[in-house]
Structure 1
């Protein structure tokens, strides 16, 4: 958690510095496109500030009111950042529209391009580092902040190309065209970020994570685990909460069932993620015999005729695998 706070503090400090550089470039050039980039830097600073708070809040231990912990706040952080990005994009487009009808002269383009280039390089390097570390720590807040900085870096480099074109062609309307393009690009990225955060808040299923989880589960699968169904995953900060039903031979005693559940827990936690597992043990029924892998089952009613692979199509259903899928 300490490393997360350090990364966000670095992002916040760099964001403030780059914001000042970009506004300096705007006052030098009077370019709407540069103002677009500078306005987004304000969002960077606000978002990093809230990201720091959300990481602190997510680190608080579970309590009576938050039995799953406080990790969901990271989705609120990403949602706020996405909304701020969209608002920045709308303001940028509005300002650019005004200047189409009331244009202002543009000057000192090369100096402005140089300053924007420096900010783009810094944001690009910081974005790469934050996304890499955020994925390692399974932190949506750091990944979202890093991707936002990546968007900022891409728009900065596009802006440099535009400023050079204006300098070479002396066509000032290119400034407005670039500003419009960056404004819509910023809004689109804000939408993507809010979409991810809303999905997390509503416990939308992470299909890729479930597929990866099942790869581990199938790798460590044992004959005693007749089937797994009603699998559900929720994400709280860096921790996944997984609950499912597992069918076990009905003649297992409580000690044996507990041991099997513990082994299932180890299997599901064999990946590069943190998971808290809740398993409901179901007794097998005669209808399970046709896909049961138990080699010497004392109560088998019919021979095994099929070997069912666990995949997202059957483990997420709330039923045993009676349909022989």
Structure 2
């Protein structure tokens, strides 16, 4: 529920910022401010995608999805990355067109106020989202937070550019800033794509987490060896599969109790883990 509330907060803040930036950009005739409105519009769409993917990911496992719905968050992250890239392409197109056509920027004060408010609001919201994403290990929420945090820098960059235009009256600064904003957006898109695809293609958990799992298993003298340790991430859930060998004289009850204890120890350090342990006799090849 905490994740959904945070995603909904992002939806409301982005809706307000899109309206403010569009109104200010249209009044001013500023491509850099309008580019920020497009950026926030994409963020709004991304926030909506994040909200619904988080809602979907919370559903329990069913017949069609026996491992749960966690990967809806990863799909959301990849989709958001594509949206960001398309927004950047639109901004670059409009900025290049304005460089060749030329145009003045009017009512700069309105843009200064809107950009400064935008930077402050996005800093507050993104910080909150990052905290919740880290606490709940939500890929979708982290992606949304990353978008908003990028907005902090781009909004402040546009703010500084408008200050420079007001002081110098060199209006070509406006589309140049828009292109810089677009390049920053593309960088965020590439980083997000890499992160989302890692989990979609079942990349192993980070090495430090694998080390934790191995060290927990090694604590127990009843385990003579282990192999075929496989791990992956599905949304905020870790999936762990391992084969462990025990002495041939180990009873079924002892083996069962030991597996339960290993699972409990792993979950105490790596919450929300789904663990499958295969028991083998010591002399099995």
Q: TM-score range by the shorter chain?
A: over 0.9
* Alignment check: 8 A CA contact 1:25 1:116 kept: no
> Which of 237, 240, 243 matches 1:239?
237
Q: Which residue does 1:5 correspond to in 2?
A: 4
* Alignment check: 8 A CA contact 1:5 1:52 kept: yes
Q: Which residue does 2:113 correspond to in 1?
A: 114
Q: Which residue does 2:209 correspond to in 1?
A: 212
TM-score by length of 1: 0.83
Question: Following the alignment from structure 2 to structure 1, what is the Cα–Cα distance between the partners of residues 146 and 9?
Answer: 15
Corresponding residue SS for 1:270: helix
Larger relative helix fraction:
2
Q: Which sections of structure 2, spanning at least 5 residues, go unmatched?
A: none
* Alignment check: 8 A CA contact 1:8 1:142 kept: yes
How do 1:164-313 and structure 2 match up within 5 A?
Answer: 164-207=163-206, 210-215=207-212, 217-218=214-215, 221-285=219-283
Corresponding residue SS for 2:12: helix
Deviation (angstroms), 1:179: 1.1
Aligned residue pairs total 284
> Per-residue displacement from partner, 1:96-115 (whole Å, max 9, x unpaired)?
11111111211122321111
Deviation (angstroms), 1:227: 2.7
Deviation (angstroms), 1:217: 4.8
Corresponding residue SS for 2:222: coil
Question: Following the alignment from structure 1 to structure 2, what is the Cα–Cα distance between the partners of residues 215 and 267?
Answer: 10
Corresponding residue SS for 2:248: coil
Question: Following the alignment from structure 1 to structure 2, what is the Cα–Cα distance between the partners of residues 250 and 162?
Answer: 74
Q: Which residue does 2:135 correspond to in 1?
A: 136
* Alignment check: 8 A CA contact 1:213 1:268 kept: no
> Per-residue displacement from partner, 1:87-145 (whole Å, max 9, x unpaired)?
00000001111111111211122321111110110011100000111110111111111
Matched, 1:51 2:55: no
Deviation (angstroms), 1:284: 2.2
Deviation (angstroms), 1:238: 2.0
Question: Following the alignment from structure 2 to structure 1, what is the Cα–Cα distance between the partners of residues 32 and 224?
Answer: 62
Q: Which sections of structure 1, spanning at least 5 residues, go unmatched?
A: 287-319, 321-325
Question: Following the alignment from structure 1 to structure 2, what is the Cα–Cα distance between the partners of residues 160 and 104?
Answer: 18
Deviation (angstroms), 1:71: 0.9
Q: Which residue does 1:34 correspond to in 2?
A: 33
Q: Cα distance 1:206–1:217, how it changes in 2: closer, same or farther (>3 A)?
A: closer
Deviation (angstroms), 1:272: 4.7
Deviation (angstroms), 1:213: 4.6
Q: Which residue does 2:62 correspond to in 1?
A: 63
Question: Following the alignment from structure 2 to structure 1, what is the Cα–Cα distance between the partners of residues 16 and 117?
Answer: 11
Which consecutive aligned stretches of 4+ in structure 1 deviate over 3 angstroms post-superposition? Answer: none
> Per-residue displacement from partner, 1:227-275 (whole Å, max 9, x unpaired)?
3322111222222111011222222121111111111111211215211
Q: Cα distance 1:219–1:64, how it changes in 2: closer, same or farther (>3 A)?
A: closer
